[in-house]
Amino acid sequence: MVSNEPDPVAQPPIAEQVADVNPRLTEHYNATYADAVEVICRAHIADDSRGAKLTAIHVDGLSLRTTARDGAHRDGWVPFSRAARSLTDLESLTLEVITTARTTLGVTELTTPEAQARQVDAIRTYVTSVIRMEQLTPIFRQITFGGGDLASFEPGGHDQFIYVMTPPAGRTELTVDASFSREDFGEFTDENRPVGAYYTVRDWRPEDGEMDMLFVLHGLGDDVHAEPGLSAQWAANARPGDPVALWGPRTAYDPPADTDWLLLVADETGLPAICVILENLPEHTPAHVFIEIGDDADRLPLPTRHDIHVTWSVRGDAPAGTSTLLTDAVQALDFPAGNVYAWGGAEARSMRTVTTHLRRVRGVDRARVRMVGYWRHRSTPVDLNTGD
């Protein structure tokens, strides 16, 4: 989900970046985009391809393998139209190969990654500004946006999240405008790259065109246990009139119609989404909610209902992203009967361990688990970032 997000830290050369993500991307394509891999193999290796597999993604093309009826392997190489300049560019070039292969074969139905890319390409960018700020708790700063393009905001689901772009550090003017789209992520120079991160829409009031978001001020003020980040610093210093560009919304929370109960898991970063999800909880759908916070003072008010069961775990002096509180709490839950839908937003490693527990120990179906890595502690490997 967050693979498009630019890394504000200086990047290694693109060939190294591609080599780094190659195993994860290859596995992801074979598991999730098998229809696209098959189309490429049919167009480039043999039209009667079976067992099509992507074997590697390189900076300048794709390696593939098919298996013939007699078990013999046939390998193929499909070059990109040019070498990739960034990871986002790599994604675009791979899509180009898929679309060319599909049209060569005369297939009109879009493959899964093409359909997804079309949705992402349709995401709008709203240029707006800060109207006011309110320090809700020591760690949560609420920022309200309004004016500019925001009046035409088209809302999404209950966990709707937006890529919030602010001027590059030390500058006051935005380097993006309303024409910003997915492909622009890979095109920034170091000087004009906006400060940016994903944030959740806590409240959208269409009648007055105002939107609230809750920014965690990690590593700032009294929070000596975490490292600060550029977006958190921007939020701490934001003033009315400061410009922002909002690319979104997108959503991940999507419970199937036959859901009997919800399991919700979050640290501070996922708490704004939990507030909205619980405020919109359908009647007769119980929820078991597990929330990790650093300090008791950072509890946010949640709706009370006899079938909403909230467990707060306080991290205290342990740095954010290093505790096992969320996983321990989920492991200890006596699972109610019926179909669960499990959603979470927290540090990537804890989201991965909760997912593993739900899938392997509790036997929950993949489609019913959506634990999203909202941020990554520096000790968490990159390939855990998706939380999938």
Residues that bind ligand FAD (CB under 6 A): 2, 8, 161, 197-200, 213-216, 218-219, 226-227, 229-232, 268-269, 272, 320-321, 345, 372, 374-378
Considering the complex, state which of residue 24 and residue 376 has its C-beta at the smaller distance from ligand FAD. 376
Strand duo 308-314 + 340-347: pairing:
unpaired
Please report how close the Cβ of residue 90 comes to ligand FAD at its closest, in angstroms.
21
Considering the complex, state which of residue 112 and residue 251 has its C-beta at the smaller distance from ligand FAD. 251
Please report how close the Cβ of residue 347 comes to ligand FAD at its closest, in angstroms.
7
The residues facing 370 across adjacent strands are 343
Sign of torsion over alpha carbons 272, 276, 277, 281:
positive
Considering the complex, state which of residue 138 and residue 286 has its C-beta at the smaller distance from ligand FAD. 138
* Residues 347, 353, 355: CA angle, nearest 5 degrees: 100
Considering the complex, state which of residue 198 and residue 247 has its C-beta at the smaller distance from ligand FAD. 198
- In degrees and rounded to multiples of 5, residue 191 shows phi and psi of -75, -35
Whether 371 contacts 264, CB under 8 Å? no
Please report how close the Cβ of residue 120 comes to ligand FAD at its closest, in angstroms.
14
Please report how close the Cβ of residue 271 comes to ligand FAD at its closest, in angstroms.
8
- In degrees and rounded to multiples of 5, residue 79 shows phi and psi of -75, 150
Please report how close the Cβ of residue 289 comes to ligand FAD at its closest, in angstroms.
16
Please report how close the Cβ of residue 175 comes to ligand FAD at its closest, in angstroms.
16
**Strand locations in 138-260 (E):** 140-146, 161-166, 195-205, 210-216, 243-250
Considering the complex, state which of residue 102 and residue 218 has its C-beta at the smaller distance from ligand FAD. 218
Considering the complex, state which of residue 29 and residue 215 has its C-beta at the smaller distance from ligand FAD. 215
Q: In angstroms, how far is the first alpha carbon of the chain from the final one?
A: 9
- Quick one: residue 123, left, alpha or beta (phi over 0 = left, psi -120 to 50 = alpha)? beta
For residues 215, 216, 222 and 226, what is the CA-based torsion angle, rounded to 10 degrees?
-140
Please report how close the Cβ of residue 111 comes to ligand FAD at its closest, in angstroms.
25
Please report how close the Cβ of residue 117 comes to ligand FAD at its closest, in angstroms.
18
**Rounded CA gap, 14 and 24, in Å?**
16
> Which residue's C-beta sits nearest to ligand FAD?
229
**Rounded CA gap, 162 and 252, in Å?**
12
**Rounded CA gap, 319 and 315, in Å?**
8
Considering the complex, state which of residue 186 and residue 229 has its C-beta at the smaller distance from ligand FAD. 229
Considering the complex, state which of residue 216 and residue 262 has its C-beta at the smaller distance from ligand FAD. 216
**Rounded CA gap, 97 and 9, in Å?**
30
